């Protein structure tokens, strides 16, 4: 098992291969559909101002060498106003395929966590800029939440709590590398093998 501690170096990412198990320690930022659309439209494809500029300034150093987690958490807030994750399972990553390669390039993101894998644009960005896709265990949302030591901040709650940016500190968050920076993709391999088996069985 390889420990990844944020900020993660490109060298550490390039050393990983499909099938490696990693343990993540440090800061991650959750981002789903609304957050990705916002990052691309407001931070990358246009020059932000005002609150948008302030938020980009805040999150850019965290995303650089950092981790994006495709997660819409279940949260609660205690009497002191502190947020806590109750469930933190991965959401399907394919919805972010139109955006992720742009985010990786613009911010130097080193790892993307989710489930189900991503497509050719993200895989190419992993190779060009030094990033990996990490598969988290689906159906283990409450267990994963135990690896979230602290909610450090939350941004854009107007998107809805599951769609907001949650800045979290995680400890020993274990994932599997399923897309690496060398062009390897377990998801593509499984799809190819499945099609081959289908053709064998049904003469496709």
Look at residue 138 in the predicted model and tell me its pLDDT: 76
Q: Which two tokens stand for residue 58?
A: 């805040």
Q: What is the DSSP string of 11-76?
A: HHHHT--TT-EEEEEEEEEE--HHHHHHIIIIIISS---HHHHHHHHHHHHHHTT-EEE-B--EEE
d(CA 145, CA 99): 26
Which value, in Å, is the radius of gyration of the alpha carbons in the chain?
A: 17
C-alpha neighbours within 13 Å on the C-beta side of residue 23: 6
Q: Which two tokens stand for residue 117?
A: 């894998």
* Tens of pLDDT, residue by residue, the chain (204 residues): 999 999 999 999 999 999 999 999 999 999 999 999 999 999 999 999 999 999 999 999 999 999 999 999 999 999 999 999 999 999 999 999 999 999 999 999 999 999 999 999 999 999 999 999 999 987 789 999 999 999 999 999 999 999 999 999 999 999 999 999 999 999 765 554 545 444 555 565
- Tokens 């497509």, located at residue: 119
Query: Does this model's pTM top 0.85?
Result: yes
State the catalytic residue, choosing from 36, 70, 135, 187. 36
36 is catalytic: yes
Look at residue 197 in the predicted model and tell me its pLDDT: 46
Query: Cis bond leading into 7, ω under 30°?
Result: yes
Q: Please state, as a whole number, how many other Cβ atoms lie within 10 Å of the Cβ of residue 132.
A: 28
Q: Which two tokens stand for residue 47?
A: 């020059």
Find how far residue 77's CA is from the centre of its chain.
24
All domains of the chain, ordered by start, with CATH? 2-202 (3.20.130.10)
Look at residue 190 in the predicted model and tell me its pLDDT: 54
Alpha carbon separation from 14 to 3, 95, 149, 165, 186 (Å, rounded): 14, 25, 28, 27, 17
Look at residue 139 in the predicted model and tell me its pLDDT: 77
């Amino acid at each position: 098992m390889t420990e990844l501690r944020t900020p993660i170096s490109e060298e550490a990412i390039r050393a990983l291969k499909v099938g490696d198990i990693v343990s993540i320690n440090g800061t991650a930022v959750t981002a789903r559909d609304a957050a990705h659309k916002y990052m691309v439209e407001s931070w990358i494809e246009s020059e932000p101002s005002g609150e948008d500029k302030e938020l980009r300034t805040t999150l850019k150093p965290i995303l650089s060498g950092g981790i994006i987690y495709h997660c819409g958490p279940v949260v609660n807030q205690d009497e002191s106003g502190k947020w806590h994750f109750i469930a933190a399972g991965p959401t399907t990553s394919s919805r972010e395929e139109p955006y992720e390669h742009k985010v990786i390039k613009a911010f130097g993101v080193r790892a993307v966590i989710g489930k189900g894998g991503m497509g050719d644009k993200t895989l190419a960005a992993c190779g060009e800029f030094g990033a990996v896709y990490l598969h988290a265990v689906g159906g283990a949302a409450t267990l994963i939440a135990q690896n979230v030591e602290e909610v450090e901040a939350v941004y854009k709650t107007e998107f809805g709590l599951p769609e907001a940016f949650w800045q979290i500190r995680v400890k020993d968050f274990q994932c599997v590398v399923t897309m690496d920076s060398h062009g390897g993709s377990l998801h593509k391999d499984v799809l190819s093998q499945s099609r081959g088996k289908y053709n064998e069985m049904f003469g496709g």
